[in-house]
Amino acid sequence: MEAISDFVFDYISVRTFWRTLLFVHFVLAVALLALVTLQTVAVLMPAKQTAGNFITRVRATSAASYVTPIVFLYVPTFLLGAWVYLKYRTYVRIPMEQFGHWWTVGSFEFKEHIVTMGVALLPAYWYFWRQPLTEEYAAIRKWLAVFLAISVWYAFLVGHVANDFRGVGS
């Protein structure tokens, strides 16, 4: 990672590099957020007919169709977040503590834990959502989808607050 950043620093400033990385992390997170939300809607409020308004059509989408893109977005978003986390620890968290933003620090610590749990559940999530979907494991499939959605939503909101403190555009 350090070799990559050293090479890049020959062309762009350190600040621009980390901000670009954070922005890419944000873009991936937005895409992931959309997918987990759509899947949760399809899982919790399934509709049989595809006709109707936008919400009904979203509800009628096969929840299984979101699984592969969710897995392939969750992993790079997590890895990129882990990389940006290096900068957060020194450049953001220290001033956050100095200004006494303890709720933000604590919430961000919890974000580490919840996204880690999400990553740990990805193999099982992938396994249970493979075709053919058995009725017997419908409850655990639903739980895994909802948990991933909660983890992504939580991480997104807390990450956004931390970014507002010291990040892109702050």
Q: How big is the chain, counted in residues?
A: 170
Site for other proteins in 20-49 (CB under 8 A): none
Residue 133 sits in the site that holds other proteins (CB under 8 A): no
Q: Which stretch binds other proteins (CB under 8 A): 19-27, 34-42, 67-75, 129-137?
A: 129-137
Distance CA 162, CA 157 (A): 9
- Which CB sits closer to other proteins, 31 or 86? 86
Kindly state the DSSP code that residue 13 receives in the 8-state scheme.
-
Q: DSSP string of 101-136? A: -HHHHHHHHHHHHHHHHHHHHHHHHHHHTSSSPPGG
Output the CA torsion sign for 55, 38, 111, 140.
Answer: positive
Single out the residue of 27, 55, 120, 138 in contact with other proteins (rule: CB under 8 A). 120
**Binding residues with other proteins: total (CB under 8 A):** 35
Residue 161 near other proteins by CB under 8 A: no
2 is an interface residue for other proteins by CB under 8 A: yes
For 52: left if phi > 0, alpha if psi spans -120 to 50, otherwise beta; the answer is left
- Dihedrals φ, ψ of 108, to 5°? -70, -35
Place of tokens 């936008």: 54
> In this chain, which stretch among 10-18, 19-27, 63-71, 102-110 interacts with other proteins, using CB under 8 A?
102-110
Binding site for other proteins (CB under 8 A): 2, 82, 85-87, 89-90, 93-94, 100, 102-103, 105-107, 109-110, 112-114, 116-117, 120-121, 123-124, 126-127, 134, 136-137, 140, 143-144, 147
